[in-house]
Amino acid sequence: VSRYGALLDSTVDRVTDALPLLGVLVFYAEAPTLAVVPGLALIGAVVIPYVRARTEALGATLPGLFMRRPERLVLLIICLLLGELEAAVQVAAPLLLLGTFVLAALNTFGGVLVLRAARVALDASELDTSEFERSRPPSASSTTLRRP
């Protein structure tokens, strides 16, 4: 796989994560209070992979954490399937809204977890780098000679 192919794959993954939630957001657009729920789920679906990718770009690695793409995708499919069921309430597709609310809450929790793990991983990689820098003898190019 080329570097561009990996980039394209990641980009398509993000778009395919966002489009169904955007559809749910549009579905509830006439009720702005309800539209906040899929909006929050959408933000969480973007934040988690962004933090992971950015952490790895900064040279640290993260362990497998909660609410990665497969978990988010399965939960989203369940939400969309629940949207077909009727309930005796005044809200359109209430089970879709409930499932999207659960997705939003879990994405928020997952986002907090990935940020905390990223901080630990980045702090650890900084310590490793600084220990490496201290143990390395200074090179001639890194020292400057000044004449009086």
Residue 25 and residue 36: Cα distance in Å, rounded? 8
Name the DSSP letter for residue 58: T
Which residues have C-beta within 8 Å of that of residue 95, sequence separation ≥ 6? 82, 83, 85, 87
Residue 48 contacts residue 110 (beta carbons within 8 Å): yes
**In 3-state terms, what secondary structure has residue 66?**
coil
Catalytic, 13? Answer yes
- DSSP annotation string for 72-133: HHHHHHHHHHHTTS--SSSSSSHHHHHHHHHHHHHHHHHHHHHHHHHHHHHHHHHHHHHHHH
Q: Which of 9, 13, 123, 128 is catalytic?
A: 13
Catalytic residues: 13
